[in-house]
Amino acid sequence: MKPFQLEGSVAVLTGGAGGIGAQLAIQLASRGVDLAVIDLDGGGLKNTQKEAERYGTKTTTYVADITNSEDITRIVSMIERDYGKVNILINNAGITTMGSFQETSKQQFDRVMAVNFSGPVALTRSLLPIMMRQSKGQIVNVSSILGCVGVANQTAYCASKFALRGLSDALRLELEGNDIGVSLVYPGGVRTNIANSATIATRSNWPDGDPRAQANKLLKLDPARAAKIIVSGVEKRKRRIVVGSDAKFLSSIQRLFPESHQSILATLTKRRDSSPPN
């Protein structure tokens, strides 16, 4: 596929009230992209809209729950009314819960799957017919490096992100010949609020206390830098966009050692944790 012409296009973006989503909105606006930004956080959406509108492009916000079918129907109708077209869909919204599979409640597990997977499926299903009427389009599904590598106490999150990977790979094949591409994004540890907003399934497996604090230590990459990498990948219509040195490392280990990567990573983690402080 030829590079995607960003200027003059319309992008629908979920999870745009903060983190990577807000930075994606700002960087796309700086490239001349009109935006339809979706989130549950109305206050955060207003901040994103203010920043994006500095670039003179149209930015409209929609407070909605992407797991609610009525909300999906409502906002898709509004987006079609407000813009008349959709060229880019970025399924970015995501949440997590921390704890073992056995102690994660069905409600917690299902909510993560709904936001991270079922929501993107529903929004893609609703917007794809509109995209098909355009000359070309790009669907961007933000997975995670944990959509490549499974880790303990993140079963719901890993399941949702692995599912998004399967959806993306299969949908890409189905859309060949329609000039609609599918990009799958694998961010590593990006400095967002996802850990702070996580639910905790149980504290029994966390000897060091609240795991959110431990998780935050791994979230180092600036969201603006992550968004820049993603926008560049979308423009190039890349199928696979790996974001961050940690994601690149983990992805390489998984691809080189598909059978033994988990034991290799466990050994490396033990060595790191046992190393004396600098």
Domain residues for the domain of 79 are: 10-274
Active site residue 157: yes
Is position 4 within any domain? Answer: no
Number of residues assigned to the chain: 278
Establish if 30 belongs to a structural domain.
Answer: yes
Mean pLDDT, the chain, rounded, equals 87
Number of domain units in the chain? 1
Whether the predicted pLDDT of 228 surpasses 50? yes
Closest by CA to 226, choosing from 185, 175, 166, is 185
pLDDT of residue 216: 56
Query: Within 10 A of 7 (CB to CB), how many other CB atoms are there?
Result: 9
CA distance 266 to 278: 22
- How is residue 165 written in tokens? 């990977």
Tens-digit pLDDT profile for residues 238-256? 999 998 777 776 777 676 6
Tell which wins on pLDDT, 2 or 11.
11
pLDDT score at 244: 77
Give the CA distances from residue 206 to residues 15, 59, 137, 152, 153, in Å, rounded to whole numbers and listed in that order: 29, 42, 44, 12, 10
Q: Per the domain annotation, does 154 fall within a domain? A: yes
Instruction: Give alpha helix (H) positions in 68-202.
Output: 69-83, 106-113, 119-132, 155-174
Check 55, 62, 83, 157 and give the catalytic one: 157
Residue 275: pLDDT band with limits 50, 70, 90: very low
120 occurs within a structural domain: yes
Q: What is the pLDDT of residues 131-164, one digit of tens each?
A: 999 878 999 999 988 888 888 888 999 999 999 9
Residue 3 in any domain: the answer is: no
Question: pLDDT tens for residues 156-175?
Answer: 999 999 999 999 999 999 99
Residue 204: pLDDT above 60?
no
Residue 62: CA atoms inside 13 Å, Cβ hemisphere, count? Answer: 22
Residue 1 lies in a domain: no
Burial zone of 168 (CB within 10 Å; 0-12 exposed, 13-18 middle, 19+ buried): buried
- Distance between alpha carbon 159 and the CA centroid of its chain, in Å? 14
Phi-psi region of 77 (alpha: psi -120 to 50; beta: other; left: phi over 0): alpha
CATH number at residue 47: 3.40.50.720
Query: Is there a domain that residue 212 lies in?
Result: yes
Q: Is residue 241 part of a domain?
A: yes
Indicate the DSSP class of residue 277: P
Q: Let me know: does 2 contact 81? Beta carbons within 8 Å.
A: no
Q: What percent of the chain has pLDDT over 90?
A: 63
% of the chain exceeding 70 in pLDDT = 81
